[in-house]
Chain A
Amino acid sequence: EAQVTQNPRYLITVTGKKLTVTCSQNMNHEYMSWYRQDPGLGLRQIYYSMNVEVTDKGDVPEGYKVSRKEKRNFPLILESPSPNQTSLYFCASISSSRSQYFGPGTRLLVL
C-alpha cells in the first residue's frame, strides 16, 4: 500500500530540547515536503526536497532543518524548539504529476 508515515504522531516537549520528526514514503517519489498548519494561516511550506541531498527552503524555514540522505526518508529537525513552533506538521511525498500524498500529521506542543 502506498503510504507516507510520520513519527511521532504526538509530541510534547520543552523549549530548547532538540527533536526530530521522521517521515518515510514507499512510493519512490523524488520530491518530498514539510508543512506546518496553524489556525487561520493554512498550510505553509517549511522545506522541500527535489532528490537525495537536494533541499530548498519553503515559506517558513526559520528554526527548522531537514536532511535527505535516502530517497524514502525526509526528517524534520528542530534544533532548539520554541513555543511558536507549536503546530500540526505534515510531511508529503509528491508524484511526477504533482499530486501530493500526505502523512497523518504530527501534533507538536512546545512548552
Chain B
Amino acid sequence: RKEVEQDPGPFNVPEGATVAFNCTYSNSASQSFFWYRQDCRKEPKLLMSVYSSGNEDGRFTAQLNRASQYISLLIRDSKLSDSATYLCVVTPYGGSQGNLIFGKGTKLSVKP
C-alpha cells in the first residue's frame, strides 16, 4: 500500500457544486496533515492544515479521521478559480520536520 493515496480524478463539476476529495495514508502514527493546491506548471501552495477536530476556511472544510486513516477536503460553492490539482500531504511517523510525503494529487476542473 502506498504511503499517501489520492483519486487522481479529474473531477469535472459545474460552478456552484460541492465537491469532496479523500486521501488515505498508510502509517497510523502519521503526525501532521495538510492540503496543498497546485495550479498547472506552478508551485504548490498551502491551502490548509488539517486538525483532528476538523477545520474550516471559508468554502473549504478539512477533516481528519485517524481511525480510518483518511483526510478529506470539501469545497462548497465551487468557483472557476478552484480549478487546480489538490495535493494531500502527510508527515510520516518518526519523520523530521522536513520529511513530508505528498500524494500524487486530485485534479479538479470547475466548468461554467
Contact = CB atoms under 8 A, between A and B. Distances in A.
B43 A31 contact: no
A21 to B, nearest CB: 14
A64 to B, nearest CB: 15
Interface residues of B, number: 22
B91 interface: yes
A24 to B, nearest CB: 15
Report whether over half of chain A's contact residues are helix, strand or loop; otherwise say mixed.
Answer: strand
A41 B101 CA distance: 12
Report whether over half of chain B's contact residues are helix, strand or loop; otherwise say mixed.
Answer: loop
Interface residues of A, number: 29
Contacts of B96: 31, 48, 50, 56
In this complex, the member of B87, B99, B104 whose beta carbon has the largest number of chain A beta carbons within 10 angstroms is B99
Interface in A21-50: 30-33, 35, 40-45, 48-50
Interface string A46-72: 001110000010100000000000000
Interface of B: 32, 34, 36, 41-46, 49, 87, 89, 91, 96-100, 102-105
Interface of A: 30-33, 35, 40-45, 48-50, 56, 58, 88, 90, 94, 96-105
